[in-house]
Structures are given as C-alpha cells and as structure tokens.
Structure 1
Amino acid sequence: MFKDQIGKQSNKVKNDIERGAVKKFAEAIGDLHPIYFDEETGRNSRNKANIAPPTFPRTFDYGVIEGLNLPNKGLIHGEQTFHYKRPLRVGETIYCYTKVKSYFEKKGKFGEMGFLVVENYGEDLSGALIFSSSSTIVISEAVRKVLAR
C-alpha cells in the first residue's frame, strides 16, 4: 500500500527553538529541570545555553511528503526513538525534514496491519545533523480498507 513511498522525503522546513515553547513543553511533560528555562543555569552549563527536552522535536514541522496521504485519525503511534549528535539549544534555528524508510504488513489477531517507518532529521544552519528520530506508524485493517477505496 505504501511501498511506492519508500525513499521519498519532504522539503526542509525552518523551525525556531523558542524559549517559551520549550518551557511550556517541559511543563507539559512534567520535567521542570532548570536547564530548560532558567537562563543562569543554561549559561553555567556545559552547553552554555538552555536546551530543549529530548522529545521536543515531536513539536517540529517536518514538511509534507508529496503523495503520502495518511488519514488524520485512526493511526496508532507504535514506537519512536531519538538519536542526538548534540542537544538542541534554545534560541537556535534548525531545518527539519522527514523521509519514508520502510513499509511492511503483518497479519495479527486484529487483522492485517500496516507498519510505516519514517525518519525525521534536524540540521543546523550549515547542514550538520543535530538529531534524527525514527517512528513507526501502525495502520489498522479498518484504516487500510478506507485508504484502499
């Protein structure tokens, strides 16, 4: 169903790591470590700046992959991993994009399920990789039937 999407990627999208957004995200996940929002703590840290929580990239815009038409509901967030070269610094601008890594199907007790694996990337202004993440989107049999129409 999505095998023709493997290897496709979105255009790069500019994302700013704003102090207020980082603070709200940290509050939402219940991690109030001062490294995320206290300026003095950030200045005195080894990064010399406040940083964003490791899962903060979930809030970024990664662009759109032409032809990858997923429904707005009925999908299951299966698994996600993050890999960092360095922390994300509050105040910096990065460019993000997404790429379809793989697609496979498995038959289970709930019917035929699809598994779409996408990778997200964040680069600094010079194009150096800061982080990558991999997500598995589970597509239920009911959603697959709707998409097949």
Structure 2
Amino acid sequence: MSVDRSMVGRELEPVLVEVERGAIRRFAEALGDPNPVYREGRVAPPTFPTTFRFPLTELGIEPSRVLHGEQEFEYTRPLRAGDRLVCRTRVADVYERTGRLGRMTFVVVTTEGRDEKGAPVFTARSTLIVR
C-alpha cells in the first residue's frame, strides 16, 4: 500500500446512496438521540453521512488499516428519507506525522452529495489515519 501526495486530487467513482427511513431510525437509536424527527425516520441526523461507504480500496487503502480522525459537514438542506444522492469523493490532502507509535499517514477526503436534480445537499470533509 502506497499512500502519498501523488493521490491529492484523485477522485473515486461516484456512488449512488439512497437515504432510507429505517436506516435513519436505527442511526438515531444508536446515537440515543430522542428527537422525534430522527426517530420517525423523516430527516437524518447531521452526522448520518458517516454511514455511507466509499471504496477506499480504489485509492490503495485497506479499510482495516484506517482510523477515523476527524469529520465535518456542511449542508444546503437536511437529508430526508427517500433522497437519492450521487456522492463524489476526492482526495484533498495527504501528509505524514510522527507520533509515539511511529509515522502515520493522514488522508483528507472531501465528499459532495448531490440530489437527483444535481443540486448540492452536503459536503463532508474526513481525515483518515492510515496505519
């Protein structure tokens, strides 16, 4: 596995994600969030896109070697049950740091989710630590 700066700018194949009412309910329950809008599965909690899976192996990254470092989201509107989103993920940055356990590689990816009309719904920025 070779993760280096040459990956910056690389895009994964787009992924179609369907936001399902049951998945929203289960996610809200797992969080312990009592908000009825989430518990009824109508609207997804703000961190719901963490459940979306993207093929990191396309980048040569073995998922079992990844730690979740950081996540942030920006929305133009809430995610709703029934949304079908085309998600595009791109490598925004790659850098290394040395810690107590040695060198670690940090991969920053951005994911943009757009609805079926092409309107932006959310942008996520994730920092992955590859060990």
Q: TM-score, normalised by structure 2?
A: 0.87
1:55 is aligned, of 47, 56, 59, to 47
1:86-139 deviations in Å (ceiling 9; x for gaps): 100111211112110010112233222211111111101121111011111112
Paired residues in the alignment total 129
Distance 1:107 1:53 in 2: 35
Q: Are 2:98 and 2:104, in contact at CA under 8 Å, matched by a contact in 1? A: yes
More strand, by proportion: 2
Are positions 1:82 and 2:73 aligned together?
A: yes
Question: Is the radius of gyration larger for structure 1 or structure 2?
Answer: 1
**Partner of residue 19, structure 1:** 21
Indicate conservation of the 8 Å contact 1:17/1:91, yes or no. Answer: yes
Secondary structure of the structure 2 residue equivalent to 1:20: helix
- Say if 1:128 and 1:32 are closer, same or farther in 2 by CA, change over 3 A: same
- The alignment yields a C-alpha RMSD, in angstroms, of 1.8
Aligned with 1:101 (options 76, 92, 106): 92
Letter paired with 1:4 = S
Number of the residue aligned with 2:115: 124
- Structure 2 unaligned spans of 5+: none
Match of 1:111? Answer: 102
AA aligned opposite 1:59: T
What are structure 1's unaligned runs of at least 5 residues?
Answer: 40-49, 141-149
2:32 to 18, 30, 33: 30
CA contact (8 A) 1:83 1:133 kept: yes
How much has 1:25 moved relative to structure 2? 0.9
How far apart, in 1, do the equivalents of 2:40 and 2:103 lie? 49
Residue identity opposite 2:48 in structure 1: F
Offset of residue 37 of structure 1: 4.1
